Amino acid sequence: MKIDRLGNSEIHVFEKDSLRVLREALDKLEAGFVSLPPSDASLPDEEGVARVLLEVAERLQDNYPYFHPLYAGQMLKPPHPVARLAYALAIWLNPNNHALDGGRASSHMEKEAVAEIARMFGWEAHLGHLCGGGTMANLEALWVSGQLHPHTTIVASEQAHYTHKRISAVLGLAFESVPCDRLGRMDVAALKRRLDQGGIGTVVATIGTTATGSVDHLPELLDLRDRYGFRLHADAAYGGYFTLIDNLSAETRRTYERIGEVDSIVVDPHKHGLQPYGCGCVLFHDPAVGRFYKHDSPYTYFTSTELHLGEISLECSRPGASAVGLWATHRLLPLVRDGEFAGMLQDTRAAALALYQRLQTEPRFMTAFPPELDILVWAPRAPRVSVASEMARSIFAEAARRNLHLALAELPVDFFDLSSVGMERDRDTITCLRSVLMKPEHLEWVDRIWEILVKATDTVWQQHPTHD
């Protein structure tokens, strides 16, 4: 970035006008407390604060540019400005959503925002709350499952997030993995064989796997639930919001049409919900599971007989600011099918489809399967899987040198049709290139991304003369 004589950046990478909006809102917030006797509200040690903050800015330069469209690697993107500002505004109060005593307005905002997420899945009655993220949200869902089905086993697919296995161990519940099909979804026939052996209390369906965005097929899992009576939990931490969009494949849409029939759902506002980190959400269809959370607190719940969020969550202190950011985002971008928010998600998926099309026409690449959401995986064609894996790593590094930031994923070779490209299977997994195109701007940047990817691939191809 170019810096002028005064040390200000000449090229604007970050939006900064919002600071004016924040100032105005802060004045408005302050107006609500003017009846208090004045107390010292000056900035303590301004010089010191400024010095340290500039040091912080310098330290933070050591990061990938998550906010930029050329960052197309992991599940990372900045929050929406309204979320960032509302969160920052709330921090002047620093409310704690454990209890209405610690965060009155923000607790009410949380209940409203969570009800809006539940409504997105067709749930009016529900029990739910925000929490630290997908891991905490899934922990609560599996904890409730364990209370309802003690001494039984939890199963999830081999492509489910590793957190489920770890969480099960924390909860003292047995856990098993079910193999996936060639599309990265839970293999329903394999699940059925396992169910026939007995002892399964909970099945976790992943609605958008972390590596490939694959969506476990709910209609078949719901049929099996009717037959075997297990509890069905949907880990939609990544994919939950895609229920709002119109450009899913017909098969994927069939899963979203039935997501409201599961017993619990996890969705992460800090993934596709435009929120700062520290915002997950767990929802239970049956509000009666709230009984498992029941506890007495000698310290907290005094100012209201109304339900405090701490009475229905495992975490105690929680940032009210997260709820405020989410509530503000829903006000600006309601969770409706034909709304602007849905349009943004539709663009991320369109971007993935556009890049997939280009990948398919490039003879130096092989693709696994069409993206179900907005995550793509592909690999270089090479005589052997080990060589393709090495080349994927080189392309990843060459692309990064050109400011295009992709990701890598270690996946089963069965996701690819090796025989059609004459690749020898000398390993059971392949290191693939992976891209999460989760910013709507990615759609406009697909050509630029492709151009850089081709250049990076040209360089790697020149370095691997044996390949041709």
Quick one: which segment of 114-122, 133-141, 223-231, 391-399 binds ligand PLP (CB under 6 A)? 133-141
Q: Which of 110, 140, 268, 347 binds ligand PLP (CB under 6 A)?
A: 268
- Closest approach, Cβ 387 to ligand PLP, in A, equals 29
Check if the beta carbon of residue 241 is closer than 8 Å to that of residue 275.
no
Pick the closer one to ligand PLP by CB: 267 or 430: 267
Quick one: which segment of 76-84, 129-137, 282-290, 401-409 binds ligand PLP (CB under 6 A)? 129-137
Provide the token pair at 361: 């026409």
- Is residue 97 a contact residue for ligand PLP (CB under 6 A)? no
Q: What is the DSSP string of 259-303?
A: GGGSSEEEE-TTTTS---SS-EEEEES-GGGGGGG----SSS--S
- Closest approach, Cβ 210 to ligand PLP, in A, equals 4
The Cα diameter of the chain in Å comes to: 79
Quick one: which segment of 82-90, 95-103, 132-140, 437-445 binds ligand PLP (CB under 6 A)? 132-140
- Closest approach, Cβ 137 to ligand PLP, in A, equals 8
Pick the closer one to ligand PLP by CB: 107 or 163: 163
Beta carbons within 10 angstroms of residue 254's beta carbon: 15
- Residues in region 11-40 near ligand PLP by CB under 6 A: none
- Is residue 134 a contact residue for ligand PLP (CB under 6 A)? yes
Half-sphere CA count of 219, side-chain side, radius 13 A: 8
What stretches of 61-211 show up as alpha helix (H) in DSSP?
A: 81-91, 104-120, 134-148, 163-171, 188-197
Residue nearest to ligand PLP according to CB distances in the complex: 134
- Is residue 276 a contact residue for ligand PLP (CB under 6 A)? no
- Closest approach, Cβ 76 to ligand PLP, in A, equals 10
Q: Helix 385-401 crosses helix 442-463 at what angle (to 10 degrees)?
A: 120
Pick the closer one to ligand PLP by CB: 79 or 380: 79
- Is residue 75 a contact residue for ligand PLP (CB under 6 A)? yes
- Residues in region 200-219 near ligand PLP by CB under 6 A: 206, 210
- Is residue 329 a contact residue for ligand PLP (CB under 6 A)? no
Q: Which of 80, 111, 161, 405 binds ligand PLP (CB under 6 A)?
A: 161
Question: Which single residue is written with the structure tokens 């040690």?
Answer: 45
- Rounded to 5 degrees, φ, ψ at 32 are -75, -10
Provide the token pair at 308: 């405090």
422-425 long-range Cβ contacts below 8 angstroms, 24+ apart: 422/383, 423/366, 423/381, 423/382, 423/383, 423/384, 423/385, 423/388, 424/383, 424/384, 424/385, 425/385
Q: How many residues bind ligand PLP (CB under 6 A)?
A: 14
Distance, CA of 373 to CA of 256 (rounded, Å): 12
Distance, CA of 381 to CA of 468 (rounded, Å): 10
Please name the amino acid found at residue 290: G
Pick the closer one to ligand PLP by CB: 275 or 300: 275
Pick the closer one to ligand PLP by CB: 102 or 240: 240
- Closest approach, Cβ 373 to ligand PLP, in A, equals 11
Beta carbons within 10 angstroms of residue 358's beta carbon: 15
Contact mark string toward ligand PLP, 230..249, x via CB under 6 A: -----x-xx-----------
Q: Which of 79, 133, 184, 310 binds ligand PLP (CB under 6 A)?
A: 133
- Is residue 168 a contact residue for ligand PLP (CB under 6 A)? no
Distance, CA of 333 to CA of 113 (rounded, Å): 12
Pick the closer one to ligand PLP by CB: 88 or 236: 236
- Closest approach, Cβ 460 to ligand PLP, in A, equals 28
- Is residue 280 a contact residue for ligand PLP (CB under 6 A)? yes
Please name the amino acid found at residue 340: E
Pick the closer one to ligand PLP by CB: 142 or 359: 142
Pick the closer one to ligand PLP by CB: 126 or 161: 161
Check if the beta carbon of residue 323 is closer than 8 Å to that of residue 110.
yes
Q: Which of 163, 264, 275, 348 binds ligand PLP (CB under 6 A)?
A: 163
Sequence-distant (≥ 6) Cβ neighbours of residue 60 within 8 angstroms: none
**Contacting residues toward ligand PLP, per CB under 6 A:** 75, 133-135, 138, 161, 163, 206, 210, 235, 237-238, 268, 280
